[in-house]
Chain A
Amino acid sequence: MLKIENLQASIDNKLILKGLNLEVKAGEVHAIMGPNGAGKSTLANIIAGKDDYEISTGNIELNGEDLNELAPEERAHNGVFLSFQYPVEIPGVSVTNFIKTAINQTRKAKGLEDMPAKEMLKMIREKSELLEIDRKFLSRSLNEGFSGGEKKRNEIFQMAMLEPKLAILDETDSGLDIDALRIVANGVNKLKSKDNAVIVITHYQRLLEYIVPDFVHVLYDGKIVKTGDASLALELEAKGYDWIKEELVQ
């Protein structure tokens, strides 16, 4: 599904990604862990198409299509979803109207008519129940005055509504208490299928107890330096990153 080869990218002339390779197949869950400043969020933003970054070499392909050529909305139409580490507050736009606009614009891009209002309402009801979101919450301005947990739940609610092929969860667990974490993880698990894939970016093992990864990658200094199964996350939790740095030196 996603294939990244030798990706090098910089921001303000500072090289962040230094030849990153990653392949994610449909039906897989990949976790990306690594110390602060390793380039995890940069990778997420580049896949989503944020234009602050300069890509010097490398390819990003989604189902064989070169993502570098596409605007962020076109990537979204092709099924890329990024759950933001810091979701943006948009005063004056309600959660409901935002998601309606997002869905209908995506349908429009695919040559489809607007989703009938009744169907939309039904879907909103189902997905908000899945994420245990109060109906009143949906008429509030997007992310404005939301708690950290509400923001993250709202991200996964939007993911549930948009049904992406590739979902990237950028530190979706940060700021969540244990109940919210369980709700969010449960939501993600319900959406998992053999046709889509999830990339979980996290610092902590605890989210991976709920969303069990097929692969765990360590991103360090702009490269993926180690890949393992779910047990690697446990090892990182117990030992930190120093041993990996030492391994690299050797």
Chain B
Amino acid sequence: MELKDKLLSSYVAFENDIDTNSDIHEIRSEAFQNFEDLGFPTKKLEAWKYTSLNSVLKQDYSIFPNKENSIQLADVQKYFIDDIDTYKLVFIDGKYSSFLSETTHDTFDVCLMSSALAKPKYKAVIENYFNKIAKKDNLTSLNTAFANEGAYIYIPRNVEVEKPIQIINFTTGSEAATMLQPRNLIVVEQNAHVQIIERHQSLTSNPVLTNAVTEVFAAKDSTVDIYKIQNDDKTASLVDNSYIEQKSNSIVSVHTFSFGGNITRNNLNFYQRGEHIDSILKGITILEGKQHVDHHTLVHHIEPNCESHQDYKGIYNERSTGVFNGKVVVDKEAQKTNAYQKSNNVLLSDKATINAKPQLEIFADDVKCSHGCTIGQLDDDALFYMQQRGIPEKEGKALLMFAFANTVLESVKIPEVKQRIAKIIANKLNVKIGFDL
């Protein structure tokens, strides 16, 4: 059976398990209809010109894992940032693991989407925010139709959450192939502050397809920092759809670290609804083999006096392929916008490819918008200089790559996350020197 047909028939079974009398269910039904009409994206769509899901969609995915799987902490501890105290929302094959998680309902809520959906206490928040900024496109609609499990994070006014929150989705490979559709809702009220670390991790080489949707609402004066660590097994594919709405004076940063996986598609969308907003989008991509990562970013400047900063660094080896499609829209009212976009790429092999496509749609006349895209090789003169000082070629190349990626790495605010990323990069480059750049 085709995956689409399988999903359509699974929906009936899904409806048996959930409350179909809620407002949310109306949204789900509409989204389901939408997906039925649109189907999966193909390369004929401009937005999917460089990324084909065909090979990924051929797998016979199980849509709902049959059993509850447990895993030992010792087996997965390495995937956590465990050298600092954090809240954790851990899902195993799409199901919540209370054993591995650490939630709270103290002054703020870090809990499960399914329980938030079920409890009247959260009704007002859910009704105000759920699916309010997510696009009605194919894959987001598919996720919305099946939306039930994921992270629900609500930070009230003036609360500064000191511990970062980790959201980790594990797949155990208990099924031949697994499809996951996590749905996260993050609401950060006025002058509140939260840091979130996301990770998807497959524990076997059985294929996984994750179609995730995260909605983030950042109210006035709030600060939200999100770190996405994508270092999954080579048989795991991910479509990560993030939608972020910001109000006046808020600062939201998203760092996307793409090192692993088979096909990874990041749809990162920012909507600025207020003044003096800062949106920060940063990424480091290091790929090898036949890996493919597609960064699709959108920053929509709707009101005046706002800024956006995009800085993506990519290093592509072997036959890996990358896409950077960065779209900046500046509405007529959004005067004094300062939008900055940079995509720098290094190709280490003749067979590696990068497709870079900056798109600027500017309707205001008093704005500063810049974009720059470079594609090059490592600097041979710099490498020789290092070798002359006794640094071997492999380590010299690694140091150059670290230095290249450093403008992104240095803006990571959690030192333990920065160290972890540096370690993953060092492992990936097969060097054993700790560069504290």
Interface residues of A (CB under 8 A from B): 48-50, 71-73, 75-77, 80-82, 84, 87-94, 97-99, 101-106, 109, 141, 158, 162
Contact = CB atoms under 8 A, between A and B. Distances in A.
B435 A73 contact: no
Contacts of A50: 384
Contact of A92 (B387, B388, B403): B403
A102 B390 contact: yes
B387 A76 contact: yes
Interface string B22-34: 0000000000000
A237 to B, nearest CB: 30
Interface string B376-407: 00010110111111111101100110111111
B13 interface: no
> Which 4 A-B pairs give the minimum distances between C-beta atoms?
A92-B403, A72-B387, A106-B390, A92-B406
Contacts of A88: 379, 381-382, 384-385
Interface string B99-113: 000000000000000
Given A72-B384, A92-B407, A102 B391 contact: yes
B54 to A, nearest CB: 39
B399 A93 contact: yes
Contacts of A48: 384, 388
Contacts, number: 85
B422 to A, nearest CB: 12
Nearest to B436: A97
A90 B390 contact: no
A104 B404 CA distance: 22
B433 interface: yes
Contacts of A71: 387, 392-393
Contact of A73 (B381, B387, B406): B387
Given A101-B435, A105-B395, A91 B388 contact: no
Contacts of A76: 387-390
B437 interface: yes
A115 to B, nearest CB: 13
A101 B385 contact: no
B390 A73 contact: yes
Interface in B242-259: none
A41 to B, nearest CB: 13
7 contacts: A48-B388, A49-B387, A76-B388, A92-B402, A92-B403, A141-B403, A162-B390
Q: Which of A94, A99, A102 has the most CB of B within 10 A?
A: A102
A105 B391 contact: yes
Interface in B421-437: 433, 435-437
B313 to A, nearest CB: 10
